[in-house]
Amino acid sequence: MQLLHICLVGYLMIALAWAAPTSGNGTVDQEDQEDLNANTPYMKALLRESKVAEMQSFMNAKVDPCHDFYDFACGNYDHINSALRMEVLTTGVFETVTKGLNRKILKMLNKHYKYDTPEDIQVKHFYESCKGLKDLYPAYPEKLRRLIAEFGSMPVLEGSSWKESEFDWLNTVARMSNRYGIAPILGAEVSKDFASNQRNRVYVGQQEFPLESRSMYEGNATQTYRDRYRSTIQRYLQRSLHVSKELAKPTAQELLDFEVDLAMGLVDESEGLDLNDLTTLHTVEEMHKLYEPTLDIKRLIFVTLGERVTDQIYEFNSRYMRNLVEVMKRTPLRTVANYVFFRLIYEFVESPASTPEKQKQDCVDLTKKFFAKNLDNMFYRRYNNEKSSTEIDSMWRQLKATFNESLSSSPQLNWISRPTRDLAMAKLQAMKLEVNNYADVNFTEEFAGLNLQSGDYVENVRQTLLQSAKEMRELLHKPAKPLEAGSQLSYTPANILVENVIKVPVALLQPFYIWADAYPNAVMFGTLASLIGHELIHGFDDGGRKFDAKGNSHDWWDDKSSTNFLERRQCFTKQYGKYIYDGIQLKESTSQSENIADNGGMRLAYTAYRKWYDAQSTKPGGTEALASEKLPRLNYTGKQLFFISFAQIWCNDAHPNIKALQVSTDQHMPGKFRVIGSLSNFNEFSREFSCAEGSPMNPQDKCFLY
């Protein structure tokens, strides 16, 4: 459901994550040992030379770093890694690391090991069933029609024999949600109470939208994506349900028009609304009276959850609810029925890929979609070692100590009152960092109702959704458990605001993509520490500052400090609203959480690195450590390497066809502006590169919060 997804946007403030070094453990096969033994002087020298070659290849040293530092650090990246030439949507360090992770997952899924658990084997059966889609595809129409028949009949399949009087859209939707967790149009879902995170509560609100955001459903800039989605609907109807082209084409347009109508109730993410703005606590009776007779909220909840709810519930996004009432009044039931059943089969339809290799890659993604926790855990058991965890924990402690010192005594933070700073330090002290390995999950219990086999993908998806819906309903009578976000938490660090926990993905345990023992500390702090620092600062940004040390929604800021925060945030709104990306003027957004986290995370990581750097002069062996901060053939100091490394985690290229999509759907700035926006606000950057005051990278007016 989109309800849970959008709630998660408030909980999870996400930055991209890259790989960290590791070695294999005792269960790793000999073939997995390649490049892992890097402790010899020769290997360390080779790794340093390799890192130099990579960094130099991305850079355009002819560019003045004080004019455009992104072009200086990444000016050649798009020539080497052209998304258009490589026929991919985007290229970047993140994509490179994801490919590395996928290669390892692919190897795990394509082999059976003696230490596989019964649950591992079931996941591999799911993957194998996906690889067999080509053989299954002739049976798809019949399988999908049987799914539809569980809940009624679809007008586009029945023609004139379809009876409108027998179709109750709300009851049908509620039954689908109860059985498979699929809730077209409107749904009720049980999730952690963001205001009291030890308990669960029912949320009632909007569906999941395939195009995700309101901006994708309006305006000329995103019309091409709606056209492609309409073509997908038509293709599914024709190929998977054997609807004639003459009927499928107008039906697809009707379904898209209806979805666009529904999407006009979505909020514009640039408004910066948080969960407190979007949710209202009601009794079931109170919410029922708000929307009857068009929306029977009491029946929706009862049928979805299989019981009457006496506790208060959250209404999520009243704007959507009010719009829904009007949309349902003017939409023919025939259109609604076609839409509801299409959204049911949408969760089951997958087309076979053109080649076996492409099919394997597609099936890795589908297995991650349904079993991200299992794959993360399998990867962790296979590739983890203590060294990686120790390195990450050490970095985390340095970042926490550095930010605590700033909160305690930095005059730059005097805009926050002392009582509020004390509460901020208490929240920081309580904040935890965890590797997202699911080592404490009882997978045997979670798989108790599953019997996944390698021969039938549709049946495997059906069983998986059945189990997931059952678990969701049971949450109503269970204490809250750690929040889950599927594959989102598999590749990026995330600040789970409702738990005051930063999750580090197991992808970071891969070796050598970003840093290794052989690399200077400047590289490690510029990359991994900046990314983790980004997540730490999310705990104190627009939304994060409204959650307390225990992870409960609670505004603990005094009025003066809050006013100062909003005034300083406005500086970022104006700064980032002036940038132009591929000819598209970026709009001024009230929400600045990602830009605040980019700026604060980079500053925090640099301050921690500078403290380490300055401390070496008084330590035994410190001179040697500082000498290692320089790389051969790169005539830059350690502090300059920090900024180059920071910039290069955002080197990227995007296919021309998706740049408008990036601007419309991504709360993060394009990589170029994540670099120049953050660094142009930082005096220490200008000092290290001797940028004259008034130069593009050293403007007179700078934005600062943390």
At residue 454, the 3 state secondary structure works out as coil
CA distance 550 to 8: 17
Model confidence at 487, pLDDT cuts 50, 70, 90, reads confident
pLDDT at 1: 42
Q: What is the CA radius of gyration of the chain?
A: 26
The secondary structure of residue 654, as a DSSP letter, is E
Which of 97, 107, 692 has its CA nearest to residue 382? 107
Confidence check: pLDDT of 29 > 60 = no
Confidence check: pLDDT of 30 > 90 = no
CA 268 vs CA 506, 600, 631: distances in Å:
33, 25, 46
Confidence check: pLDDT of 33 > 50 = no
Q: What is the pLDDT of residues 182-197, one digit of tens each?
A: 999 999 999 999 999 9
pLDDT at 313: 98
Q: Are 431 and 106 in contact (CB under 8 A)?
A: no
Average pLDDT, the chain: 91
**103 sits in which H/E element:** helix 93-110
**Percentage of the chain modeled with pLDDT above 70:** 94
pLDDT at 27: 35
Q: What is the pLDDT of residues 635-670, one digit of tens each?
A: 999 999 999 999 999 999 999 888 877 777 777 899
Q: What is the pLDDT of residues 666-695, one digit of tens each?
A: 778 999 999 999 999 999 999 999 999 999
Confidence check: pLDDT of 276 > 60 = yes
**84 sits in which H/E element:** helix 83-86
pLDDT at 37: 52
Q: Rounded to two decimals, what is the model's pTM?
A: 0.91
Count the neighbouring beta carbons within 10 Å of the beta carbon of residue 576. 21
Count the neighbouring beta carbons within 10 Å of the beta carbon of residue 617. 10
Q: Are 577 and 587 in contact (CB under 8 A)?
A: yes
pLDDT at 291: 98
Which of 224, 211, 213, 313 has its CA nearest to residue 271? 213
Pairing of β 200-206 and β 313-316: parallel
Contacts of 139 (CB under 8 A, 6+ apart): none
Contacts of 704 (CB under 8 A, 6+ apart): 412, 568, 571, 599, 681
* Residue 475, beta-bridge partner list: none
Confidence check: pLDDT of 7 > 70 = no
Instruction: Find the range with the poorest average confidence among 31-40, 316-325, 357-366, 687-696.
Output: 31-40
Q: What is the pLDDT of residues 239-270, one digit of tens each?
A: 999 999 999 999 999 999 999 999 999 998 87
pLDDT at 490: 80
What tokens were used for 83? 């998304």
**261 sits in which H/E element:** helix 245-263
- Domains belonging to the chain, first-starting first, are 49-94+390-432+510-688 (3.40.390.10), 112-132+356-382+439-478 (no CATH), 142-346 (1.10.1380.10)
Contacts of 206 (CB under 8 A, 6+ apart): 2, 3, 6, 186, 187, 262, 265, 266, 316, 317, 320, 324
Q: What is the pLDDT of residues 427-451, one digit of tens each?
A: 999 999 999 899 999 999 999 989 9
Contacts of 480 (CB under 8 A, 6+ apart): 192, 193, 197, 198, 199, 200
What tokens were used for 397? 């402690």
Q: What is the distance of C-alpha 670 from the center of its chain?
A: 15
What is the average per-residue pLDDT within 593-616? Answer: 96
CA 671 vs CA 98, 303, 346, 698, 702: distances in Å:
17, 46, 33, 19, 19
Q: Are 313 and 301 in contact (CB under 8 A)?
A: yes
pLDDT at 574: 95
Pairing of β 652-654 and β 90-92: antiparallel
Instruction: Find the range with the poorest average confidence among 28-37, 47-56, 399-408, 482-491.
Output: 28-37
Confidence check: pLDDT of 278 > 90 = yes
What is the average per-residue pLDDT within 588-609? Answer: 95
Max CA separation in the chain (angstroms): 87
